[in-house]
């Protein structure tokens, strides 16, 4: 059986996570991990040695020479479009990190171009793959909570994320775009209703004092077409002493019930004599383990979305399904537009200091 050949563009924090996931799938014979494109020669050398793959400084060359079926895009949020458009033109299926883009016009162009070339555009919204969120979706869809009236979301990263991990480009992003977009998408997916208005307020101070000109926190209120209103409190300045890299919860209240998912406290706490602080570990999201035959493997909902993409492109390659038959079965570009529209509206509201209509 011929398996899909995949490459990755961007070898940073999330690109590395993708490489680990695809390498595990490669050892299972589910995919062939071929190459990485990254501007940094040191990254190419390190990742090439770690994963035994070819390295290209220019993704265009990788597309032309590596005989790929698909590509995973893990570039900074605002730099997805150029790569995705080139991949579509080369006939490659695309797994794009969230958000699809920070600009609605660019996002629309990506969607239309992928459709024109009949390639899959899969956006990696892995919160949809969290079993707790999938159960919440079932409860809402079955009407168990009744008509949804309001809800609350918080998602908060430690300050190491913008000040360390993303130091080079954090000023071109925000907590709203980098992490808030996860839950803008999730709430849209849960409600199956389009956003109609947004009011946002933000705070600056901590990061600007470190020379990073972006928001510390963004608090927004989004109203949807079905009448539901959700509040989103998003930040990325939690102190490094906080016991996990991210704190996240969602609360949904309907006419007939309430549901809460706490992704922070899921039952694992760890404190050891060789660490400076205790840790709350979300092993449900991402966990590496050793398989007796296939070696290192990645599991958890963070990787479930990536592996699902591999399953779908394998089906497409074997001719067992068509792209049209898969419509609505994965986080495609069209469904990603809701979160991009919310993010863009939040930016406008922050700029204007008033509510905006979508």
Find the angle CA(339)-CA(340)-CA(343) to the nearest 5 degrees.
85
Percent of the chain with pLDDT over 70: 92
d(CA 56, CA 164): 25
Same domain, 314 and 261: no
Q: How many C-beta atoms lie closer than 10 Å to residue 33's C-beta? A: 22
In order, the DSSP letters of 101-143 are -SSHHHHHHHHHHHHHTT--EEEE-GGGG-HHHHHHHHHHHTT
For residue range 266-283, list pLDDT tens digits in order.
Answer: 656 666 667 666 565 565
pLDDT digits over 4-61, tens only? 999 999 999 899 999 999 999 999 999 999 999 999 999 999 999 999 999 999 999 9
153 bridge partner residues: 232, 250
Residues 218 and 279 in one domain: yes
Is residue 243 situated within a structural domain? Answer: yes
Assigned domain for 238 exists: yes
Residue 211 within any structural domain of the chain: yes
Q: Are residues 86 and 208 in the same domain?
A: no
Mean confidence (pLDDT) of the chain:
93
Query: Can you give the residue range of the structural domain that contains 306?
Result: 5-124+287-326
In the prediction, which pLDDT does 315 show? 97
Q: Give yes or no: residues 174 and 303 share one domain.
A: no
Q: Does residue 22 sit in the same domain as residue 117?
A: yes
Residues 191, 248: one domain?
yes
The predicted-structure confidence for 316-354, as pLDDT tens digits, reads as follows 999 999 999 999 999 999 999 999 999 999 999 999 999
pTM score, two decimals?
Answer: 0.92
**Quick one: pLDDT at residue 163?**
96
Q: Residue 321 — left, alpha, or beta (φ > 0 → left; ψ -120 to 50 → alpha)?
A: beta
Angstrom distance (rounded) from CA 283 to CA 18: 17
- On whether both 268 and 163 belong to a single domain, the answer is yes
Residues 297, 278 within the same domain: no
**How many distinct structural domains can be found in the chain?**
2
Query: Residue 117: which CATH number?
Result: 3.40.50.720
Do 349 and 207 belong to one domain?
Answer: yes
Closest of 286, 198, 206 to residue 239, by C-alpha: 206
CATH code, 196: 3.30.360.10
Assign 297 a pLDDT band (cuts: 50, 70, 90): confident
Same domain, 108 and 135: no
């Amino acid at each position: 059986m011929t398996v899909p050949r995949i490459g990755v563009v961007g070898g940073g924090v999330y690109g590395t996570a993708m490489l680990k996931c695809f390498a595990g799938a490669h050892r299972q014979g589910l995919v062939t991990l071929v190459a990485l494109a990254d501007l940094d020669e040191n990254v190419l050398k390190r990742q090439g040695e770690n994963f035994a793959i070819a390295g290209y400084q220019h993704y265009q060359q990788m597309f032309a020479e590596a005989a790929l079926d698909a590509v995973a895009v893990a570039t900074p949020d605002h730099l997805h479009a150029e790569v995705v458009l080139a991949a579509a033109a080369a006939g490659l299926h695309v797994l794009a990190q969230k958000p699809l883009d920070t600009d609605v016009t660019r996002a629309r162009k990506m969607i239309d171009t992928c459709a024109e070339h009949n390639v899959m555009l899969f956006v990696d919204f892995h919160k949809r793959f969290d079993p707790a969120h999938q159960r919440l979706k079932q409860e809402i869809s079955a009407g168990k909570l009744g008509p949804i009236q309001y809800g609350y979301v918080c998602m908060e990263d430690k300050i190491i994320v913008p000040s360390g991990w993303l130091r080079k480009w954090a000023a071109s992003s925000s907590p709203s775009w980098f992490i808030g977009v996860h839950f803008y998408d999730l709430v849209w997916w849960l409600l199956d209703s389009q956003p109609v208005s947004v009011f946002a307020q933000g705070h600056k101070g901590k990061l600007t004092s470190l020379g990073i000109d972006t928001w510390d926190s963004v608090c927004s209120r989004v109203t949807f077409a079905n009448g539901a209103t959700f509040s989103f409190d998003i930040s990325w300045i939690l102190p490094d002493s906080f016991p996990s890299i991210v704190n996240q919860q969602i609360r949904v209240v309907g006419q007939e019930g309430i549901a809460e998912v706490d992704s922070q406290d899921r039952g694992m706490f760890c404190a050891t004599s060789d660490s400076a602080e205790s840790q709350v570990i979300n092993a449900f999201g991402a966990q590496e383990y050793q398989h007796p035959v296939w070696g290192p493997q990645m599991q958890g909902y963070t990787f479930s979305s990536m592996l699902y993409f591999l399953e779908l492109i394998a089906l497409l390659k074997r001719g067992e399904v068509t792209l049209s038959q898969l419509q609505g079965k994965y986080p495609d570009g069209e469904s990603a537009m809701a979160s991009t529209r919310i993010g863009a509206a939040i930016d406008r509201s922050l700029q204007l200091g008033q509510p905006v209509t979508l």
